[in-house]
């Protein structure tokens, strides 16, 4: 089943969810700010996306700028930062089986559904 890591306050995330709704396919919504992914789950998502952890970070978030920017962080420390501050996680993330995309632009979701 398709899974979307969603934040309803984000317009891009809402667009991604609308695309899934219109697709007619079954999907599951993970409100990741409430149901925060574990370190293991985030590592798996990053692996499916085929990116480095830093590429999943929202670098314009205030907490990133005040707590982490310009620090020499390992991949594990970056993942821990996202687990402890889930609003740092880029969104929406859509997973379908062993494929995943960050839905920016929204049309990227079409590549895996």
Q: Whole-angstrom distance between the N-terminal and C-terminal Cα of the chain?
A: 10
pLDDT of residue 106: 96
Dihedral, 53, 59, 65, 67 alpha carbons, nearest 10? -20
Q: Is 15 a catalytic residue?
A: no
- Spot the catalytic one: 2, 10, 63, 83: 10
Could you tell me which CATH class the domain 2-111 is placed in?
Answer: alpha beta
pLDDT of residue 29: 98
Per-residue pLDDT in tens (0 to 9) along the chain, 113 residues: 999 999 999 999 999 999 999 999 999 999 999 999 999 999 999 999 999 999 999 999 999 999 999 999 999 999 999 999 999 999 999 999 999 999 999 999 999 99
Q: So where are the chain's domains? A: 2-111
pLDDT of residue 24: 95
Cβ burial of 79 (10 Å; 0-12, 13-18, 19+) is buried
């Amino acid at each position: 089943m398709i899974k979307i890591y969603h934040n309803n306050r984000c317009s891009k995330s809402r667009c991604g969810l609308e695309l899934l709704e219109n697709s007619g396919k079954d999907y599951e919504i993970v409100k990741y700010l409430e149901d925060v992914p574990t370190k293991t789950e985030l590592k798996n998502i990053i692996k499916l996306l085929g990116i480095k952890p830093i590429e999943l970070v929202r670098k314009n978030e205030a907490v990133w700028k005040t707590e982490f920017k310009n620090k020499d962080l390992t991949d594990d420390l970056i993942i821990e930062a996202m687990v402890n501050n889930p609003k740092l996680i880029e969104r929406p993330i859509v997973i379908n089986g062993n494929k995943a995309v960050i839905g920016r632009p929204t049309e990227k979701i079409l590549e895996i559904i």
